[in-house]
């Protein structure tokens, strides 16, 4: 009698949010990448360059823009880069969405 091959568990890449230091799956975070043209938001996670990850929460972006993002990307953010990132940050929800627990 033949044994069935065991189902392989798909590897899920993990990344750390530079704002809050939580480790989550790569798909749950937003990638920011340092390119030769400057710092850009990478929605596809496929741009070449040094990358860093942040949650889709404004509080993580605020912490990241204070310095953690610069350290992770190993670069200084220019005024244009900072303005681009702040514009994107302003589109994010103010509070983290929480699911109320039934009593």
38-42 and 23-25 beta bridge pairing: unpaired
pLDDT in tens, 12-38: 899 999 999 999 999 999 999 999 999
Cα–Cα dist 91/17, whole Å: 18
pLDDT in tens, 38-82: 999 998 889 999 999 999 999 999 999 999 999 999 999 999 999
Q: Which CATH superfamily is domain 14-89 in?
A: YlxR-like (3.30.1230.10)
pTM exceeds 0.75 for this model:
yes
For the chain, what are the domain ranges?
14-89
What pLDDT, on a 0 to 100 scale, did the predictor assign at position 47?
A: 92
56, exposed or middle or buried, with CB in 10 Å at 0-12, 13-18, 19+? Answer: middle
pLDDT band at 103 (very low <50, low <70, confident <90, very high): very low
């Amino acid at each position: 009698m033949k044994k069935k091959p065991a189902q392989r568990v798909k590897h899920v890449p993990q990344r750390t949010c530079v704002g809050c230091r939580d480790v989550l799956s790569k798909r749950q975070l937003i990638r920011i990448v340092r390119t030769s043209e400057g710092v850009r938001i990478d929605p596809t996670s496929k741009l070449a360059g040094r990358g860093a990850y942040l949650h889709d929460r404004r509080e993580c972006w605020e912490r990241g823009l204070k310095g953690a993002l610069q350290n992770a990307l190993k670069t200084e953010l220019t005024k244009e880069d900072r303005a681009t990132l702040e514009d994107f940050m302003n589109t994010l929800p103010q509070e983290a969405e929480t699911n109320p627990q039934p009593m």
